[in-house]
Chains A and B, each alone.
Chain A
Amino acid sequence: MSVFAGTRIERSRTSLSDMSPMVRRRLVWGLFFISPWVLGFLAFTLYPIAASFYYGFTNYNILNFTPRWVGTENYADLFTSDNVFWGSLRVTIQYVAMLVGLATVFDICIALLLNMNVRGLSLYRTVFYLPVMVPVVAATLTWVWILNPRHGLVNGLLDRIGVDGPLWLASPRTALFSLVLVAVWGSGRAVLIYLAGLKEIPSHLYEAAEIDGANPFRKMWHITLPLLTPQILFNVITMTIFSFQSIAAPLIMTGGGPNKATLLYGLQLYRLAFERLRMGYASAMAWILFLLILALTITMFYGSRRFIHYDR
């Protein structure tokens, strides 16, 4: 017996022998129909998670079927003697901070524009969502050309207005920011969520504010943004999680260079696992990343409670 929200719920305890043949049949068929998902979950989610936790305490190269147990050595090495690990963590935190900050501002601005009543709105919405539909490899390769320091579109346009464009991906000073720009360009999914949030804000709040003489800025500051905070929190959390795991763009565009300026955590993990076959060490890195993301998510979730407005 358990108590939930003040209501007593009597749980029935039934054994197979107590069931009628029809119920047993229904149970078997029910299990049969969900078995693809259950098997898929066990094979491709639960087992890899459990295995990677175990491998994190071993020296394992995927070909030796008996990984050698090394205890906490991988974790100790990562924290005490692996400068590349710390370097990639620092670069990743910079990347996530820049990306989440810029993308949030950019996406909200775009959502506000797309929430206006102008002609051709459907077309604009489609245009801003298109980057999400483009395969990541095609998009990043295109951006390599767009950001080409000598013949790229961006520097070509800057050159026309007399500005000497930066080296973008070719310089350690601008390479990480270039990756952030590309990621912001592809963040149209968040725009949709903000747009849905904007649509839900009751118009009578704006009408009341207008009667009180509020200007557009005050309406934005006191109505729009506070009532958009649930969407902002959701997008910030999901974007933080995904950007900590970024790998494709740095792998394709820079290979982590120049001078490790774009060596994101995910890329270093990939290299350890699949280029150097240090699966045990890479598994330990993966678990550290998981715990880091978990801690950040919990902190954001609880830290933001005072600022989030769910009531409308």
Chain B
Amino acid sequence: MKRSSEDTLGLQLNRRALLRLGGLSGAGLALAACAPAAPQASAPSASDDGGADAEPTTVEIWTGFGQGRMADAMTGAIDRFGEENEQFEPNHVIVPWGEIHDKVIANTAAGNPPDSYRGWAWIVAEDAPIGALTDLTDFVEAEGVPQDDYWPATWKQMQYQGKFYAMSISTIVQLFYYNKDRMAEGGFDPENVPANLEEWEEMGHALTETEDSGELDRIGFIPLIPRADPHNWLPAFGAAVWDEETTTVTVNNERTLRLLNWYSSYNERYGAENIQAFRTAYGGNFFGRNSPEGLYYTGQIAAWQAGSWLFNDIGEYGPDLNFGVAATPSPSDITDGHPGKLVANMYFVPANAKNVPGGFAFSNFMSSSKWVALNKAVPDSVTPSRISNATDPEVEAAGGFWMPFARDNILPKAWAVPSMPGIQYLAGQIYEAIDEIAYDGADPEAVLEALSGRVQDEVNNKLEAAGG
């Protein structure tokens, strides 16, 4: 049967028409993808405050405070911000902590980020050089944010190369928690705690119990539990990491080598697989921090280092625990060690945020408000970043015994995690180095040299991609 041209519709023509349509659509999509990003932050002006008749503008806020005590405190803080700033209407979006940073980056690239989100100090150095954060310097200056009211390390962590990219609400310090009952049980005086790392180690070994097979039953002190946390132990060993002026990674030094050997000594003594098995078996949710069966609350771990945030967890889930806190110890011959790391909790305004004044207003509110210090930082058991808030008698009375101890003994000397692009990569590389030494029998010196090179490459790559 003969087909008419109307029936066949002409194959070649169809293809052309389809390709034309496809080409047009593709071009449209490409143009859409290349559309200019949302307007950058403009300098703050009086109009940002909004006139009496102006409609309130929405401020989208992302945090991971989804449930429990901390979520209630967050909701209260956001409500308070709305009440005190009628020109803004806050909208709280809960994003799981493990995803929040990745999602913000993806949304920033797509031009649809939140106006403010909660993160940590390391984000400043990771994201500012690649253009993922809004420069808040003009806002900070216009607002007259007082430098002398911040802990120096916190003030520094809010900046990258002299510009402000974050407002800190609070500062986490690491505490060395010890179980007094376990110490007494092992014949140690819980009121007379060890003075240096060697003494803590001696006690830790005495309190560690293992099966004949090597399986770990109860932990005295093993620095690989809860995890190696190099950002905490590097400063305790007085190891240098980064030269900001020359953007050089300086981690390949004697102190870091000593630290690697120290970690490895525990793998050799107790067996890397036994330690890993203990972590795998019990390590979920930071060894059960939100459960009465948590290993530290039940005494299965006698001493470990963790953030001050654990303090209120103990009150909630292990109220009967007889415990104390100390500063992260250094080896006795190291006199320039720091009592662990210091990480500021931050609020950021991502690049391309739609409401930069609103994002800054909220971030600054969280950073400066005494109400927030009392009702958010204290329930989170972290030190408020403003000295005036941290030393306020009402805040001090509401906080635990750890707060004045940390404020006066740890915070001023703690090591501020540096503004180094690739600082998280460095930590990951040290974890891998510990494994390499333990499982492959690699030479620590060679491992450290290779590690240092990789981290420097990472830094260079980040700066290069950012055009720096």
Contact = CB atoms under 8 A, between A and B. Distances in A.
Interface of A: 11-16, 18-20, 22-23, 26-27, 31, 35, 38-39, 42-43, 46-47, 59-65, 68, 148-151, 164, 167, 169-172, 257-260, 274-278
B436 A13 contact: no
A12 B10 contact: yes
* 8 closest residue pairs by CB, A with B: A14-B10, A150-B281, A170-B280, A259-B435, A259-B439, A170-B277, A61-B465, A62-B109
Contact of B17 (A31, A60, A62, A260): A31
Interface string B142-166: 0000000000000000000000000
A19 B274 CA distance: 78
B13 A60 contact: no
B132 A63 contact: yes
Interface string B364-405: 000000000000000000000000000000000000000000
Contact of B465 (A11, A39, A46, A59): A59
A64 B131 CA distance: 8
Contact of B280 (A64, A169, A276): A169
Given A12-B8, A150-B282, 7 more contacts: A19-B9, A27-B14, A39-B25, A46-B26, A61-B466, A68-B465, A259-B436
A170 B276 contact: yes
Contacts of A170: 273, 276-277, 279-281
Contacts of A258: 272-273, 276, 435, 439
B13 A171 contact: no
Nearest to B275: A170
Interface string B115-126: 000000000000
How would you classify the secondary structure of chain A's contact residues: helix, strand, loop or mixed?
loop
A124 to B, nearest CB: 33
Contacts of A149: 277, 280-281
B105 A42 contact: no
B334 interface: no
A31 B26 CA distance: 15
Contacts of A278: 461, 465
B438 interface: yes
B301 interface: no
Nearest to A151: B281
Contacts of B132: 63
Contacts of B462: 61
Contact of B6 (A15, A23, A167): A23
Interface in B1-50: 3, 5-6, 8-14, 17-18, 21-22, 25-26, 29-30, 33-34, 37
A257 B431 CA distance: 10
B26 A42 contact: yes
Interface string B273-298: 10011011110000000000000000
B9 A14 contact: yes
B102 interface: yes
B130 interface: yes
B440 interface: yes
Nearest to A11: B11
Counting contact residues on chain B (CB < 8 A from A), the size range is 35 or more
A286 to B, nearest CB: 17
B199 interface: no
Interface string B427-446: 00000100110111000000
B304 to A, nearest CB: 19
B105 A63 contact: yes
Given A64-B131, A257-B435, A167 B276 contact: yes
10 contacts: A18-B10, A23-B6, A39-B25, A43-B29, A60-B465, A61-B466, A149-B280, A150-B282, A167-B276, A170-B276
Contacts of A62: 105-106, 109
Given A39-B25, A62-B109, A63-B130, A23 B9 contact: yes
B96 to A, nearest CB: 12
B456 interface: no
Given A47-B29, A170-B276, A63 B12 contact: no
B464 interface: yes
B457 to A, nearest CB: 9
Contacts of B276: 167, 170-171, 258
B83 to A, nearest CB: 35
A278 B5 CA distance: 53
B26 A276 contact: no
B272 to A, nearest CB: 8
Nearest to B13: A14
Contact of B131 (A13, A46, A63, A172): A63
B51 interface: no
B108 interface: yes
Query: Which of B8, B108, B277, B466 is packed against the most chain A CB atoms within 10 Å?
Result: B277
Nearest to A18: B5
Given A15-B13, A169-B280, A170-B277, A260 B435 contact: yes
B440 A259 contact: yes
Contacts of B461: 59, 278
Contacts of B109: 62-63
B458 interface: yes
A19 B6 contact: yes
B467 interface: yes
A38 B17 CA distance: 13
A164 B215 CA distance: 12
Contacts of B22: 38, 42
Contacts of A26: 9
B425 interface: yes
A276 B423 CA distance: 11
A14 B438 contact: no
A277 B109 CA distance: 11
